């Protein structure tokens, strides 16, 4: 299923035709439906898979209607042709209705508010490695398609669409961070925080300038590293600590397993946006692009949302180092059983988060060649 999803993501990232984009999204989505309900004996997994499937099918309808309306207005699904003739459709209601439907469909795929309902249950019910894959890699691939269609295909669209994207961005940042505060399950916390991160990336899409494009690509890469690393640590702890997914069960983890504690702290600081990690640089690019585009209010909203996120991310660190574990949560404190592949993925993610944070030009120079 992961290979099928990866194939779909490759279509998404390289397709310059709306039909190819749709096929890539559906190939990826169908694989994710199976992954979210993979544990057939777990009621939560079954519920997650069914909910994701039903809501995903609903979003697919919006995508299809959007593509149909755009094709009916332009007689093509090729993004290059649409981009070259965009001026001819400025007053075409059918065309912009199609763009609106595409916005709804893509917002569902990246779990942006108010199309986010599936994400917390799907991430919690799926096996933890699959949750990391779904929340990080698939979201970044969906944003790649978002950029291809709305920036390269529709030239950043018009002012009204950009304002709509900005509103979705603010709602995602606010709701994702606020609800994450009250979560006690770490997978649900990361799920709601991923909704907020979708909002951060949408800041660059609403800006629709060169800095915004770079910010989207850079932050997508940083987000994959941060989120894969965080879910990797959760997976390790889940196996070692007898399926501990409550944040309170991380109490004392930094003393019992110092390396795991340090790695988790790195990812929590990076997701918050502390320097010198990649999360800080990515947010700087995105918020600066909003200021450059005359959307200072959007940048301010992003900064305020980031301040809210400090509470629940650092709550994990506080639990690991400043709280004593309950006796029943300690399982073989001196025994460490970490798979080589899991440890490798987490270490590579941590190194990547640090290097791309202190040397962002290594990444941005490559992205400049894409434009």
Nearest to 44 by CA among 127, 106, 160: 127
Specify the pLDDT at position 206.
92
Give tens-digit pLDDT for 270-327. Answer: 999 998 999 999 999 999 999 999 999 999 999 999 999 999 999 999 999 988 776 6
User: For residue 192, which of 305, 85, 105, 82 has the smallest C-alpha distance?
Assistant: 305
Calculate what percentage of the chain has a pLDDT beyond 90: 41
The answer to which of 54-68, 125-139, 207-221 has the lowest mean pLDDT is 125-139
Residue pointed to by tokens 């899409």 = 205
Residue 237: both structure tokens together: 């702890």
As a dihedral over the C-alpha atoms of residue 17, residue 19, residue 23, residue 28, rounded to 10 degrees, the angle is 50
Q: How confident is the model at residue 29 (pLDDT cuts 50, 70, 90)?
A: confident
Most confident among 2-6, 93-97, 137-141, 237-241 (mean pLDDT): 93-97
Distance CA 10, CA 92 (A): 32
Residue 205 token pair: 């899409």
Q: What pLDDT is recorded for position 331? A: 53
Q: What is the pLDDT of residue 165?
A: 93
> Does pLDDT of 200 surpass 90?
yes
Peptide bond into 114 cis (omega under 30): yes
Q: Are 179 and 192 in contact (CB under 8 A)?
A: yes
| Cα 363 to Cα 357: distance, rounded to the nearest angstrom | 10
C-alpha span between 286 and 295 (Å, rounded) = 11
pLDDT of residue 210: 87
pLDDT at 225: 93
For the beta carbon of residue 13, count every other beta carbon within 10 angstroms.
17
pTM of this structure: 0.91
- Average pLDDT over every residue of 217-239: 90
- Give the position of tokens 């309900």: 37
């Amino acid at each position: 299923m992961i290979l099928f999803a990866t194939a779909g993501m490759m279509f998404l990232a390289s397709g310059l035709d709306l039909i190819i984009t749709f096929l890539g999204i559906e190939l990826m989505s169908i694989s994710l439906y199976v992954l979210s309900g993979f544990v057939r004996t777990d009621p939560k997994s079954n519920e997650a898979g069914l909910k994701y499937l039903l809501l995903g099918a609903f979003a697919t309808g919006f995508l299809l209607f959007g593509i149909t309306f755009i094709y009916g207005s332009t007689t093509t699904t090729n993004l290059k042709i649409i981009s070259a003739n965009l001026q001819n459709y400025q007053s075409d209601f059918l065309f912009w209705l199609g763009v609106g439907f595409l916005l709804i469909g893509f917002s569902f795929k990246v779990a942006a508010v108010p199309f986010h309902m599936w994400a917390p249950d799907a991430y919690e019910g799926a096996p933890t490695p699959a949750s990391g894959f779904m929340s990080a890699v698939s979201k970044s691939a969906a944003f790649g398609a978002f950029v291809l269609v709305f920036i390269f295909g529709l030239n950043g669209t018009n002012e009204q669409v950009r304002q709509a994207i900005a509103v979705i961005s603010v709602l995602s940042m606010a709701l994702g961070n606020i609800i994450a505060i009250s979560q006690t399950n770490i997978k649900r916390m990361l799920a709601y925080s991923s909704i907020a991160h979708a909002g951060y990336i949408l800041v660059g899409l609403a800006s629709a300038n060169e800095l915004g494009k770079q910010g989207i690509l850079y932050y997508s890469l940083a987000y994959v590293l941060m989120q894969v690393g965080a879910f990797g640590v959760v997976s390790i702890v889940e196996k070692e600590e007898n399926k501990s997914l409550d944040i309170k069960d991380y109490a004392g983890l930094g003393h019992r397993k110092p390396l795991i504690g340090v790695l988790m702290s790195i990812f929590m600081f990076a997701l918050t946006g502390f320097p010198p990690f990649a999360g800080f640089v990515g947010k700087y690019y995105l918020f600066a692009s909003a200021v450059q585009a005359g959307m200072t209010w959007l940048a301010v909203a992003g900064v305020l949302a980031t301040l809210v996120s400090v509470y629940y991310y650092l709550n994990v660190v506080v639990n690991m180092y400043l709280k004593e574990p309950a006796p029943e949560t300690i399982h073989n404190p001196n025994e460490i059983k970490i798979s080589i592949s899991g440890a490798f993925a987490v270490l590579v993610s941590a190194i990547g988060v640090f290097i791309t944070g202190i040397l962002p030009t290594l990444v941005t120079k490559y992205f400049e060649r894409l434009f």
